[in-house]
Amino acid sequence: MIFKIIFQPLIRIVTLLTDNINSDIFYEWTIQDLLPKLPYKCVIVMDNASFHKRLNIQHAIRQAEHTLPSTIFSSTKSY
């Protein structure tokens, strides 16, 4: 699984995970890799993967003063 975090015209954070991902792995990646690298007060939008929904992940994002929209979007929905 590859996570690309995009802001401005550049990709700033790219992480390649070669194993299956679960809530624990995603939480650790979020607090150890993602949040420290983001500029102040970003909006973070995630799809509806089950590991995105864990409350401690959402809490960590908000504690870092980033915005997490109340709706988690599905990556399979066409617009």
**pLDDT tens-place values along the chain, 79 residues long:** 555 565 565 556 777 777 888 999 999 999 998 899 888 888 888 888 888 889 999 999 999 999 888 765 444 444 4
What residue ranges in the chain does DSSP mark as E strands?
A: 2-7, 10-16
**Separation CA 40–CA 61 (nearest Å):** 11
Whether this prediction's pTM lies above 0.75 is answered by: no
The SS3 assignment for 39 reads coil
Distance in angstroms between the alpha carbons of the first and the last residue of the chain = 24
**Separation CA 35–CA 42 (nearest Å):** 10
